[in-house]
Amino acid sequence: MNSRQLYTRTGDDGYTGLLGAGRVAKYMPQPEAYGTVDEAGAAIGVARAAASGAQTRQMLITVQRDLYKLMTELAATPQTAGQFRSIDVARVQWLEEQTDAITALIELPREFVIPGDTLPGAYLDLARAIVRRAERVVVHLLHDGIIENVQLVRYLNRLSSLLFVLSLYESALAGVGQVTLAKDGSESHLA
């Protein structure tokens, strides 16, 4: 292989290597999990590029770096996962602190919100939905005993909350006074 070639051809058979001994089919739960986290990181990158708040952009780049580390642990075999572990209670706590700090700056709606009031907010909501999907896939790995670090699930769970409040924050920065609610107010409420 030429050292300037990006492609290796090693995955052409539909299998990929893990961090440790062995190869697995690309559709197996581990590649599905770290691939979904990778997708979430890319969506967060779009949100970061569109965000107007410097605080938002700084938080998101930190999150993207955390997700890179999280993917590394997901790509490890059970025998090698410990040496790649960096998502821990402290990283989950950091997300909680950031979420609380942003929540103090905004008014939380009392009902479900429909995404799309601002472009940065919509990107953050899309990223949140992808993070939720990633969380479901990682929970599957945890419940099946493929991974042991429960902090990976907790991190993704807290990250979805941070992305939600950042979406509201970005809308507030853009001057949106009232976010669009799922109920339009004209619907009759059935008891």
Summarised one tens digit per residue, pLDDT across range 170-185 is 999 999 988 999 987 6
Q: In the structure, what pLDDT confidence band is assigned to residue 187 with cuts at 50, 70 and 90?
A: very low
Strand partners, 76: 19
Calpha distance 162→104 (Å, rounded): 12
**Whose structure tokens read 């440790």?**
20
pLDDT tens sequence across 101-151: 999 999 999 899 999 999 999 999 999 999 999 999 999 999 999 999 999
CA 190 to chain centre: 36
| Of 43, 53, 65, residue with least CA distance to 166 | 53
- Please report the pLDDT score of residue 155 as a whole number: 98
pLDDT digits (tens, 9 = 90+) for 60-81: 999 999 999 999 999 998 888 8
Q: Give the whole-angstrom CA distance, residue 7 versus residue 123.
A: 30
Entry pTM: 0.90
- pLDDT tens column, 1-53: 567 888 888 777 787 877 887 887 788 889 999 999 999 999 999 999 999 99
Q: Over 80: is that where the pLDDT of 191 sits?
A: no
* Residue pair 159/131 in contact by the 8 Å Cβ criterion: yes
Q: Is the pLDDT of residue 55 over 90?
A: yes
For 66, 138, 146, the CA distances from 78, given in Å and listed in that order, are 20, 14, 7
CB 60 within 8 A of CB 52: no
Q: Is the per-residue pLDDT at 190 higher than 60?
A: no
Domains, the chain, ordered by start: 23-173 (1.20.1200.10)
**What's the token pair of residue 5?**
């070639």
